[in-house]
Structure 1
């Protein structure tokens, strides 16, 4: 008995495996058109880009070979950037910890969490360079302005992530600690802290890396550190010294990344 193939139904024949999403395509097309329009409004042109490549080639040619003759000046700037980053991280974490607890909606009432979250949003609203400019105008040039700017950035970052980590914990362990008659502080130490400690160590090491990078940027606007040395060398057209400073900064960031990765493995 030979089986005969049944004709496909009209419904199956009319089906399409992957229907085109015309709405998404129209959105992408509008986005591309707006990008072209924005580029024309900002003065982008092929001629300007080609001219920039030529100037960039001349600039790079003047940077080689790197000049490490001012090593003492570079060393003092790097040391000051390290001090700025470490001080800002330690103080920022110390301030961000209680703020993060107060912003956790599973531990605090809304009348406490909402003002705290507004404070965190304010700390995160501005780039560290903008905050550094404000502190330079308020307290003058120097490392103190850079430290204060990075403290604000650290509070905004650590407090937000710490509050989110607390909101993701299991409340069963918290309730078990409360059932023993423990107070609020003991509940935080025994019920909350063990659950968030590994993530908190990761947040802290990342913030130290971030502050180390940002310490070079805030120095450009007067916040001290190696950024001030870099900006001074650039103003003097000592581009070979600029390259030497950039090499030292890259090496420092790489060493900090290795140390932070080791710290995460050890303490987690």
Structure 2
């Protein structure tokens, strides 16, 4: 006697069993071959574990004796994040209008999209290395790096928001003979302003975190202080810096989360 299932069962992602298990086998085989063929020096890995033990052993307890140096590094990171956020957002606004297909003509649209793609193509560390080589070590390289990083994020999402606006308001102002800039100011900006404020807060938070990363390659901020501490084998001071970075990021994340909830 056949039985009827009295419970719901989630259907598989791929209905065809042969195709599904064949895909599983292919993925498992690829990962196995990749792991075997990677040039991993297991002896060096074992030695690295011993070094890691010495590093963690020397990091406890954390040392806050040079708190002045730590505070200077953090304040420099904060300045870098604020300047980069302001500069990146100011540049992102016109670039977002260029990259919105419902606002721009096609050549301008393609140019805007191309610039955004270029800004998004490289990791901030790579961009930081380029700017460090170009303008030298210090916070200027960090600001320029995070400006590019901000453009890649803010301009893209803002352009997508512009493409989603109610275009009826734009057409109404055009039919009334309003000039282009007035149409943008009174028909488009009110619709995108909440998203712009939210993106600005998020990008400031993101730039604060990224400033600690790009500083490791010489772009200023607390990341440079952390790199110098590791270079001097001051692991206890390095742990103190790391704790401050984590604490500041947690506070920043909580603060930006509250603001985003209020404006959403």
Question: Shared fold (TM-score greater than 0.5)?
Answer: yes
Q: Of 122, 134, 141, which residue of structure 1 is paired with 2:118?
A: 122
State the Cα deviation string for residues 64-83 of structure 1 (Å, max 9, x = none). Answer: 11100010000000000000
Deviates more, 1:235-244 or 1:172-181: 172-181
Aligned to 1:200: 196
Provide the secondary structure at the position in 2 that maps to 1:259.
helix
Unaligned runs of 5+ in 2: 3-10
Deviates more, 1:169-178 or 1:78-87: 169-178
Aligned to 1:12: none
Is it true that 1:162 corresponds to 2:158 in the alignment? Answer: yes
Contact 2:194/2:263 (8 A) holds in 1? yes
Aligned to 2:57: 61
TM-score (norm 1): 0.87
Q: Report 1:144-155 matches (<5 A).
A: 144-155=140-151
CA–CA distance in 2 between the matches of 1:75 and 1:40?
46
Aligned to 1:105: 101
CA–CA distance in 1 between the matches of 2:47 and 2:135?
41
Deviates more, 1:29-38 or 1:226-235: 29-38
Aligned to 1:3: none
Is it true that 1:171 corresponds to 2:136 in the alignment? Answer: no
CA–CA distance in 2 between the matches of 1:139 and 1:56?
34
Instruction: Mark the CA change 1:216 to 1:48 in structure 2 (over 3 Å): closer, same or farther.
Output: same
CA–CA distance in 1 between the matches of 2:41 and 2:149?
36
Aligned residues: 254
Displacement after TM superposition at 1:258 (Å): 2.0
Q: Report 1:10-159 matches (<5 A).
A: 19-44=15-40, 52-159=48-155
CA–CA distance in 2 between the matches of 1:104 and 1:267?
24
Displacement after TM superposition at 1:253 (Å): 0.6
RMSD: 2.2
Contact 2:198/2:263 (8 A) holds in 1? no
Displacement after TM superposition at 1:206 (Å): 1.4
Aligned to 2:216: 220
Aligned to 1:260: 256
Aligned to 1:232: 228
Provide the secondary structure at the position in 2 that maps to 1:68.
coil
CA–CA distance in 2 between the matches of 1:173 and 1:25?
53
Structure with max Cα Rg:
1
Unaligned runs of 5+ in 1: 1-6, 8-16
Provide the secondary structure at the position in 1 that maps to 2:101.
coil
TM-score (norm 2): 0.89
